[in-house]
Amino acid sequence: MNQNTEKKKFVFTKESLKKKFRISEFLSEKIITSVAFLSIAIIILIFFFVFRETMPIFKSQTAVESQPATAMVQEQYGVDSSLILNDQGQEQYGVDSTVMVNANGQEQYGVTESGLQDTGEVSSTDNAAGSEHEVAVLKSLVGKDWLPVSDHPRYGLIPLFVGTLKITLLAILFAAPIAILAALFTAAFAPNWLREIIKPAIELLAGFPSVVIGFFALMVMASFFQGIFGYESRLNAFVGGIAMALAAIPIIYTITEDALTAIPASYKEASLALGATKWQTALFVTLPAATPGIFAAILLGIGRVFGETMIALMATGNAAMTSANPFESVRTLAATIGAEMAEVVFGDTHYSVLFLIGSLLFIFTFGLNALAEFYIKGKLVRRFQGKS
Amino acid sequence: MKEFKIRTQDLTLFYGEKMALNSISMDIPEKEVTAFIGPSGCGKSTFLRTLNRMNDLIPNVSITGEVMIDGVNIFDKQIDVVNLRKKIGMVFQKSNPFAKSIFENVAYGPRINGINNRTELQDIVETSLKKAFIWEEVKDRLHDSALGLSGGQQQRMCIARTLAVEPEIILMDEPASALDPISTAKIEELIFELKRNYTIVIVTHNMQQAARVSDYTAFFYLGELIEHGKTRKIFTTPDKKQTEDYITGRFG
């Protein structure tokens, strides 16, 4: 019938111009919309889950409620006497922590013992001990000790943050100049045939499994750099940073290269026609014009390094130390989750703190991307909107 | 007759296998405006770009013949193309300001030539912009993005940018083809002023424009130079039938 009306001469009548319901169009539109919202919903749900698991740290009641869970786990590991001890410690850490606030490390052993004797009392003052424990955990979060499984656990995030920032900084300092110069070379100087080889080759590196890079760093680079710099601990922030740079270079390279090749050829022509050399053109015209793209590339590289787990686990030494020395071992936020999540007691404070780290990673990456998005958008608008 | 600034001898150019210019011999007089006309693809832009060796950028170009500028063959192996282009400025069809401020755009040329003194640069920028008749319009916003200018202003700023390097020859590749009549008139006025000091070669699709601004006109067709002479003569009593047909709009 539809075809029939089409074959007939089209007449403008109210009937022929009537709105038609196009079922396939309607369906495909709805499906695409729902898929889009689904992906957003999944991200929100992941964040919600991570955040929910973090909450017990901030709520004293939940911390106390988590004790039955701890006891339950204790049954599973019951055979292991050391774990039982540990568990006893955990039931009392409300008491420990009150002491920790005003006592130094050496006194804690004694206090723990006294806590052991007081076991009965702890259960009667569950709530009070719980909230005190809460305060202690919160205070230890900004401390410098990451000792989550000691008798007297402390969850200082400072060394993890310092370690992560150190690694990220080192990695970007290595990766960004190399990647940007490589991109500049392929975009501005390399003959076409060479460009066709270099670009895919470096881009392939982006899909390189990080465990292989980590392995390479662990086995080869660590000893190699030790031979050069003669540092003490074989696995340290420097080795980890270079290994991470290997992971970040392809990302920064690809996006920078795309940004550089997207610069209109007319810029290049204008510059050359003014008597600029190829280098001057690349450095003073092409590169500045591609700033927003390069900025985005670096931010993505930072994001990659920040969340990189496997290389961090394998090549950084994993010692939670707060120091500015690049040749000391570090422990990153992501590696901490990777290393400890599998062995943590479900619902425990340690467990929640790991999720807190997850939330922080999430928030940081999100913030970084948001910054990139808005900064770049603003910059692009400023640069190109005036064009008529 | 004035001196010849540019002389080409049997200039032939191939893009790969395709011949784009066939044995062009032409003399371009100093401090006059020479217009190249002809239908699209006739080689006039290619010829223009050969004069400052912009065709070097295109792969697979082979050139035979000579281009003598002030008696020097620019295809000589000893010639530094960077210095050559400083003497031969170029204005493009589509205005192409850098994504920088107006000041930085004009100061770019002098800067890469090693002038870093702020006051000196300011002088150059001001005189260049004045020569291009755009100073009054932009003097209060020198540090705004050049991309915020209108199309005609951008083109005049590009001319100012070219002038800032103090060239002797200015090549213009359809400088007004993307502009409205008022901006075009301004550009033409500017060309008229500039020819006192510069040798100007302009490619144009606009017959009236060629007639208005140029002293000499060259008609290209299918890679060959059909006719070259005083504009008045070309437009009134051309020697060749093809030229007459093209100018009167019977083909092309």
CB contact under 8 A, B94 and A266: yes
Whole-number Å distance between alpha carbons of A306 and A327: 19
Return the residue of A nearest to B97 by Cα: A267
Cβ-based contacts of A274 with chain B (< 8 Å): 85-86, 89, 108-109, 112, 161-162, 165
Distance CA A103, CA A96 (A): 10
Q: Which residues of A touch B151 (CB under 8 A)?
A: 388
Q: Which of A87, A136, A142 is nearest to A116 (CA)?
A: A87
Strands B4-15, B61-69: pairing is: antiparallel
DSSP B50-96: HHTTGGGGSTTEEEEEEEEETTEETTSTT--HHHHHHHEEEE-SS--
**What pLDDT band is residue B158 in, cutting at 50, 70 and 90?**
very high
Please give the C-alpha separations between residue A354 and each of A7, A236, A367, B81, in angstroms, as whole numbers: 69, 22, 20, 63
Residues of B in contact with A270 (CB under 8 A): 92, 96-98, 158, 161
Rounded (5°) CA angle A265-A266-A267:
90
Q: What is the pLDDT of residues A33-91, one digit of tens each?
A: 999 999 999 989 988 888 888 888 777 544 444 444 444 444 444 334 443 444 444 44
Chain A residues within an 8 Å CB radius of B90: 269, 273
Whether this model's ipTM surpasses 0.90 comes out as no
Q: At what angle do helices A81-102 and A105-117 cross, to 10 degrees?
A: 120
Q: Measured between CB atoms, which of B82, B92, B165 is closest to A266?
A: B92
A267-310 pLDDT, tens digit per residue, is 888 999 998 998 999 988 888 888 888 888 998 899 889 888 99
Q: Pick the residue with more confidence: A380 or A282?
A: A282
Inter-CA distances, A17 with A8, A13, A14, A20, Å: 14, 6, 5, 9
- Token pair listed for A335: 């590696």
Mean pLDDT of chain B: 89
Query: In the prediction, which pLDDT does A96 show?
Result: 41
A117-147 residue pLDDT tens: 444 444 444 455 556 676 777 777 877 888 8
The CATH class for the domain spanning A158-384 reads: mainly alpha
Q: Where are the domains of chain A?
A: 2-55, 74-136, 158-384
- Minimal CA separation from B162 to chain A, in Å: 6
Q: Nearest-CA residue of chain B relative to A384?
A: B147
Q: Is the pLDDT of residue B35 over 90?
A: yes
Q: Residue A291: closest CA among chain B residues belongs to which residue?
A: B99
Q: Which segment of A2-6, A211-215, A378-382, B107-111 scores lowest on mean pLDDT? A: A2-6
Alpha carbon distance A199, A260 (integer Å)? 13
- Secondary element (H or E) of residue B22: strand B18-29
Quote the pTM value.
Answer: 0.74
Q: What is the mean pLDDT of residues A315-332?
A: 86
pLDDT of residue A377: 65
Alpha-carbon gap, residue A285 to B112, rounded angstroms: 11
Distance CA B23, CA A347 (A): 87
Range picked from A107-116, A318-327, B221-230 for highest mean pLDDT: B221-230
Report percent pLDDT > 70 for chain B: 98
- Across the interface, of A192, A289, A388, the residue whose CB is closest to B150 is A388
